[in-house]
Amino acid sequence: MADFNKILDAGDVDGGIINVVIEIPAGSNHKIEWNRKLAVMQLDRVEPVAFAKPTNYGFIPQTLDEDGDELDALIITDTPLPTGIFMEGKIIGVMKFVDDGEVDDKIVVVPADDRNNGNAYKTLSDLPQQLIKQIEFHFNHYKDLKKPGTTQVTKWGDVEEAKEVIRESQARWKAL
């Protein structure tokens, strides 16, 4: 497998189109993570089925969030995407999130060219409210059955706020 952080960058943040690598397909309860040191996808654990991911889950190359990992992305598609592919994603917002006291924000994207949905999703307000509720519920409760810890979705931010989170994460990456 290619080292995504060596062959890809974050993409055109100012233009709103970023590169995203898929770690976990929507509907999976396998916690698959990019292992930066080995440059491979690694199964970290198997979550309870009740807490399968409500969306595809991945990361943005050459970024570093405050938790020390690449910046996470939630990828909204009608069907699951396979682990290990990369795609161009259109930024539609950010889910501000705190996991055990650490900032662990999630950039929300849709495929840059989504002909199935007529490229209809431009902001978070274009998404079905039920999907937003499912995502928020998942992230507020996924630790309930697994271990002590706290998680909290603190707010949802717009495209410009998402771009700022990415820029800050790019700066942390460059400081490595």
Please report, in range form, the residues annotated as the binding site.
31, 45, 57, 67, 72, 104, 142
Longest dimension (CA), the chain: 42
Please report, in range form, the residues annotated as the binding site for substrate: 31, 45, 57, 142
What does the DSSP assignment read for 31-98? EEEEETTTTEEEEEEE--GGG--SSEEEE-TT---TTSSPPEEEE--SSPPPTT-EEEEEEEEEEEEE
Query: Residue 56's closest CA among 88, 20, 91?
Result: 20
Element (H, E) at 131: helix 129-141
Residue ranges of the binding site for Mg(2+): 67, 72, 104
Enter the tokens of residue 67. Answer: 């938790």
